[in-house]
Amino acid sequence: MRLCRSQGLLMKVIRSTAYTRYKLDSETSEQDVLAAAEGILKGRLERQGSLHSPTDATSFLRIRLGTLLHEEFHVLWLDNRHRIIDCQKLFTGTVDGANIYPREVVRAALSINASAAILAHNHPSGVAEPSAADRAITHELRDALRLVGVRILDHIVVGAECVSMAGRGLM
């Protein structure tokens, strides 16, 4: 994605098979650009059909969570073929933590009829290293969701980089 100025108006040019231009009436904020990027990545994931690798979800989650100044906990809900059903923000926290309630995560999984999940949250500090609390809640959620037949495929921690807890063997 690149941004260019034309005739005093900010124009977004997004590269796909052809350039798509969006002419805006006023200044475009960073949040506008990120929202557009998130929409594009989500659309690509949906057109792709299902998740084929951890990097498929990581790019989307980095855009969605990477610039936040407070912690948020999101779940990418998948069906039994690993097609995306939805991505939900379940909890919002402060600059150094968020309270996660397994009961609410299970309730969300059942209401959307999910078969699998990719958990994600950000570390506003930029340090994406999973904490002991991150590992503990992941195991607690894994056990709770297992009771209702929902598998956790990964827990991605987003900071300056993205860390896959499954990739690190922490699941």
Do 96 and 152 share a domain, yes or no? Answer: yes
Do 119 and 41 share a domain, yes or no? Answer: no
Average pLDDT over residues 86-108: 96
* Distance between CA atoms of residues 5 and 147, nearest Å: 53
To the nearest whole number, what is the mean pLDDT of the chain? Answer: 82
Do 100 and 138 share a domain, yes or no? Answer: yes
Do 34 and 61 share a domain, yes or no? Answer: no
Do 41 and 61 share a domain, yes or no? Answer: no
Do 42 and 72 share a domain, yes or no? Answer: no
- The per-residue pLDDT for 4 is 36
Average pLDDT over residues 17-34: 60
List, for residues 119-133, the tens digit of each pLDDT value. Answer: 999 999 999 999 999
- The per-residue pLDDT for 59 is 82
Percentage above 90 pLDDT, the chain? 57
* Distance between CA atoms of residues 102 and 69, nearest Å: 24
Do 101 and 163 share a domain, yes or no? Answer: yes
- The per-residue pLDDT for 48 is 58
Do 133 and 67 share a domain, yes or no? Answer: yes
131 and 163 in contact (C-beta within 8 Å)? no
Q: Which two tokens stand for residue 159?
A: 């900071």
Do 75 and 3 share a domain, yes or no? Answer: no
Residue 135 has pLDDT above 70, yes or no: yes
Q: Which domain holds residue 59?
A: 50-171
- The per-residue pLDDT for 50 is 62
Short-list 106, 107, 94, 89, CA closest to 144: 106
Instruction: Identify the band that residue 168 occupies on the pLDDT scale cut at 50, 70 and 90.
Output: very high
Angle at the Cα of 55 from the Cα atoms of 108 and 84, rounded to 5 degrees: 35
Number of domains in the chain: 2
List, for residues 51-88, the tens digit of each pLDDT value. Answer: 666 677 888 888 889 889 999 999 999 999 988 898 89
Short-list 132, 124, 134, 125, CA closest to 156: 134
Residue 117 has pLDDT above 70, yes or no: yes
Average pLDDT over residues 27-41: 70
For the whole model, what pTM was predicted?
A: 0.74
Give the phi and the psi of residue 109 in degrees, each rounded to 5: -60, -45
Which CATH number fits the domain that encloses residue 165? 3.40.140.10
Count of Cβ atoms closer than 10 Å to residue 51 Cβ: 21
List of E strands, 16-158: 19-23, 72-78, 84-92, 116-122, 151-158
Residues 6+ apart with CB under 8 A from 27: 10
